[in-house]
A and B are shown apart, each in its own frame.
Chain A
Amino acid sequence: MAFADRFVSVPDLFPARLAGEHWGTAQVSLDFLGATYSMTGLTPGFQEAIEERFGDLVVAPDIETDKKAIEFKVFRSAREDFHHFDLAGWDVQFDFQYHSEHVKMAGYQLMGFLSLYPRLRVGLWTCSETKSDFILGFANLLRVASAYALLENGGVLIHSAALSDGYRSWLFPGHSGAGKSTLSRLAAHRGWEIYSDDLNAIVPTGKRVSVQQVPFAGDFGRERLEILPPRPLEFLCKLRQSEADAVAIMETGSTFALLVACAPFVNCDPFRIHRLEENLLALVEEVPGYVLDFSLDGQLQGLVELVEERDRRGWNETGSC
């Protein structure tokens, strides 16, 4: 099936530039992960929906900031531009088409266009008129946009659970079913901070690498973001559900491969894969990786101690402890 075929009536009409007619004149700016996104072309309802969903991240318009902001334009599309189907039981999916200069994304009632050079600019064409329909498409495209914005700044968005004891953070990359939510629940009961059990940003901050929150909730996440400060990333752990708790060093190559597999959107982009590799190589050099076998009845504190102990013993030794 060709790109966008399953979502768009005439894929040949898919936009190739950021142009069209706006839904309205309302606008709102969001600030997260070190970037400001300036959303324009909104109806008052769309503005409201964004403010409700991303309220903590809304910033007042500022001429100087807006000049550097990532433009995110919302355009009107005809209802007949899209196929319409029952979403009940439908697993959210998207089509991507990658190009040296841009990325196209098609989804339910949405066409997205990310112009990447000379700087990131985003276009969303939708026929959704209600707040609830709009915000779904909007948040999905914003998620993709933030992956590219991060990549450009040396960071990466990772499918992962990220936890913090208040001083440092731990990252557990993995796709659905890896145990991220289970571990997050366990950690929450122990009073740990949960950045997200689904998607987290890894950002270089000076000489360190830190975990930062993204405003996209997972199963465990929140509808609204509670802002946690960035914390240095101490350990990267691959989760493996097991009968007993155990820790083993993960080879750098394996850590790298795991992270590539867990970097959504950009890891399928043949034009940006090298940039992703660059960013991830810097990350794996900085942060040690472990394979963490954990049992559901295990104690988080025990796991933490196991990892710390393994870390103290250093990287010269191999094998499980």
Chain B
Amino acid sequence: MKLVLAKDVRFRRILQQGVLIRQAAGEALGINGVGARILQLLVEGRSVPEIVSLLTGEFDVEKRILKEDTNRFVEELLELGVLEPAPGETA
């Protein structure tokens, strides 16, 4: 499933980390470096499996753990309303 940032969300990678602004709620969320990288790849249109395979080469971590973490992180962002399915995709 292709995911995009929700309409009211702004995202930047700053100092190797990430910042998410949820405009409607008036909230700023800090994201660590890995999370920021995952989010960046999601925003660029990559799927979760693609992201996992890309990050396996970037970080010294088991693919299974990375996959679990990535899925959990994406779920968390979906729950928070930061991400939503791209138009035409179903949740």
A/B: CB atoms within 8 Å of each other: no
Mark B residues whose CB is within 8 Å of A: none
